[in-house]
Structure 1
Amino acid sequence: MAATVTPPRLPGTLKRKSSLPVWLAIGLRVVAVLALVGLAIAVHWFDREGLRDNYDGQVSFVDVVYFTMISITTTGYGDIAPVSERARLFDALVVTPIRVFVVLLFIGTAYNFVLKRTWERWRMSVIQRTLTGHIVVAGYGETGSEAVDELIARGEKPGDIVVVDTDPHHIAAAKACGCIVLEGDATRDQTLSDVRIDQAKAMVVTAGRDDTSILITLTARHLAPDVPISVVVRNEDNEFPARAAGATTVINPVSFAGLLLAGACKGSHLADYLTDLASIRGRVALSERAVAPAETGKPLSAITTGLGLRIYRDGKPYSFAEPEAGALKDGDLIVEIVSTRE
């Protein structure tokens, strides 16, 4: 039995938001052309006495339509000609500009739907080949869209965010935000290779299903061993599998919501402050950075950029109250509260 040979899969094509839907752009052009032609036919018909038919001497409605279309699309054949001054002025001052506008509309349509789209595909293929330092968002549902909005609010350019999703509606919404998009299955190696996951600076996985999110994480970690990956899981039992798959950060919105609710029972403003910390739009925000050379040897409480909460040394966390925070070292990571008003 002969073996089945699977043809190689073509790389996915990145897309960006277009100015108008195709049907609307074509419809506007068709309406404009029909309106201009209709105007010329109407004027020629009401002023048909100013036209002369050199064939039979009679100018019928069909002759008017024929003369108008020939005049707009060409310079005419001379079988029907304007003879009155009013008819000649109309042809010179109105029909000639209509001819120019119609030609421009046709050229514009060809440009938009042939040349421009070919150029856009080529330009996006160049971007795809040189894509680096971007953020890949796998899944643009409710959580993914919120993450993208927050990233943009924090200063990320929409053009530096690549959204991967299988839902055309999600793709359209992400494209409307200015993001680069790819409609495809993020669990496939080829899809993540198309968005150059190995050149990304971070990845956010919000597939909506824990099993899908874990599989995406596993695929991404296989292709990009060093890229930070943040994953959303909804079942507490799946937090460990997500970390085992290679997730750098695992977030459980259900557990986090429970923490907020429990905190609200102890104080009416605790949940409000935690929400404030989580968003860049609040008065304060959490920030993570490397220790500065001038801060080496100083205690965490001595930093001037914000309120030091914790340090990470060799991958282990230490709070501001622990002895390790009494002297900062090169390579430490500082988690601090900073003011967004500055």
Structure 2
Amino acid sequence: MIRPHRLSADQMKPLRRRSDIPIWLALGWRAFAVLGLIGIVLTVHWFDRDGLKDNVDSAISFGDVLYFTMITVTTVGFGDIVPVTDRARMFDTFVVTPIRVFIWLIFLGTAYDFVLKRTWERWRMAMIQRNLDDHVIVAGYGSSGAEAVRELIARGTPAEQIVVIDSRADRIHHAELVGCSVLEADATRDITLQAAKVERARGMIVSAGRDDTSILILLTARHLAPRLPISIAVRNEDNELPARQAGANIVINPASFAGLLLAGSTHGAHIADYMADLAAASGRVQLNEREATPDEIGRPLRAIGSGLGVRLYRRGLPIGFWEPGAQALEAGDTIVEIIPGEDQTVPRG
């Protein structure tokens, strides 16, 4: 997959880090540089016009000097006016030739920056959109969204399979540095989520920073992708129910989760530490969710061999490891288990 990317109101454009210099000023500096270099050559040629020879009328006027200057800094000349003294020839060799190359570089660089690069980036953006599939969309790259992206990458999701959407250029720039595909746009709009191919995503995380904005993004995404798994972060407890009613599969209240950790810490010195350990990909233990394998059908949840089974989901209903339904796994059951972290080894025997 190719990356970058930003979205304007009616046209997708590849993201580029914003420059503090306006376009008109950048063009002005380049034009000033070209005119300055031409002015240097023109001045020297005028004061050293005796070193030039006009093969047409043998007279060197200011017009002839101007013509010769423009021809020599853009081409190698036509031979109608030529330098005849050693000083004029050395000046053309060691000064005019490098200036000619430099001016052409300015011309080519300007053409690339303002014409070729934009065409190339539009093509790249089209390729990004065409190839997006089975990706994760993160709407909002604030503290929670950025942490979610880091955790996704730590859990094995390639950065190029993550599409970050945010309307702030500084956040988009940081997401691009991580390696994500990014869209600088309003995630509440259909055109934005359509550009991110929301209908082909495997999951979406919504953390816009404002509950009303997050829920509006959720509604837009659910309208475009009815079956897409969507997780949303809300700050106000009162908005948890509206978020669920809007179609969120998972609703997380960061403040409530922090409260759970704080409360757990008062009932044991290691409870909060273990909960945080479970939530992080870098922890000594991890939570893993998977489908029951054929050889596990009929066996109790506690007897699975890949980890410690703590819960299963059967037809959408949660069943704890102690409940009768967990005594025999069935086809289609989803298992939630605790497994060792990636850097941990499990002794055999």
TM-score, with structure 2 as normaliser: 0.79
- Is the 2:53–2:84 Cα contact (8 Å) retained in structure 1? no
Question: What residue is the counterpart of 2:342 in the other structure?
Answer: 340
Superposed CA deviations along residues 107-130 of structure 1, whole A, max 9, x for unmatched, are: 233123211211211231243244
What residue ranges of structure 1 are gaps of 5+ in the alignment?
1-8
**Secondary structure at the counterpart of residue 132 of structure 1:** coil
Q: Which amino acid aligns with 2:118?
A: R
- Cα pair distance change 1:76/1:288, threshold 3 Å: same
Q: Distance in 2 between matches of 1:162 and 1:322?
A: 40
Letter in 2 for 1:319: G
Gaps of 5+ in 2: 1-7, 345-349
Q: TM-score if structure 1 supplies the norm length?
A: 0.80
Aligned-residue offset at 1:290: 1.2
User: What whole-Å deviation, never above 9, does each CA across 1:50-72 have from its counterpart, x for those lacking one?
Assistant: 93365998999x99888655422
CA distance in 1, matches of 2:196, 2:221: 11
How many positions carry a matched residue from both structures?
332
Provide the residue aligned with 1:287 in structure 2.
288
Map 1:53-68; keep pairs closer than 5 Å.
Answer: none
Classify the secondary structure of the residue corresponding to 1:337: strand
Task: Report 1:6-155 matches (<5 A).
Answer: 12-13=11-12, 15-17=14-16, 21=19, 23=21, 26=26, 30=30, 37=37, 41=41, 48=48, 51-52=51-52, 69-76=70-77, 81-85=82-86, 87-89=88-90, 91-92=92-93, 95-155=96-156
Residues in 1 aligned to 2:122 and 2:84: alpha-carbon distance in whole angstroms: 51
Matched residue SS, 2:299: coil
Per the TM alignment, residue 89 of structure 1 is displaced from its structure 2 partner at its CA by: 4.8
The amino acid that maps onto 1:123 is: R
1:251 maps to 2:237: no
Distance 1:238 1:266 in 2: 29
Identity over aligned pairs, percent: 53
Map of 1:157 onto structure 2: 158
Counterparts of 2:40 and 2:86 in 1: how far apart (Å)?
A: 16
In the TM superposition, residue 144 of structure 1 has moved relative to its aligned partner by 1.4
Equivalent AA in structure 2 for residue 237 of structure 1: D
State the partner residue of 2:302: 301
Summarize deviations over 1:211-244 as a string: whole Å, max 9, x none: 2222221222122110000011111121111111
Alignment of 1:176-191 (within 5 A): 176-191=177-192
Q: Residue 264 of structure 1 contacts residue 270 of structure 1 at CA under 8 Å; is this kept in 2?
A: yes
TM-superposed CA distance for 1:80, in Å, is 5.9
Does the CA-based 8 Å contact 1:206-1:213 persist in structure 2? yes
Query: Distance in 2 between the 1:111 and 1:327 partners?
Result: 66
Counterpart amino acid of residue 181 in structure 2: I
Instruction: Answer yes or no: is the 8 Å Cα contact 1:278–1:285 preserved in 2.
Output: yes
Structure 2 CA distance for aligned equivalents of residues 48 and 336 of structure 1? 87
* CA separation of 1:235 and 1:51: change in aligned 2, threshold 3 A: same
SS at 1:266's partner residue?
Answer: coil
Displacement of 1:281 after TM fit? 2.3
Q: Equivalent residues in 2 for 1:317-336 (5 A)?
A: 317-336=318-337
Decide whether aligned partners of structure 1 residues 324 and 66 sit closer, same or farther in structure 2, where only a CA change above 3 A counts: same
- Going from structure 1 to structure 2, the CA distance change for 1:243 and 1:64 (only over 3 Å counts) comes to same
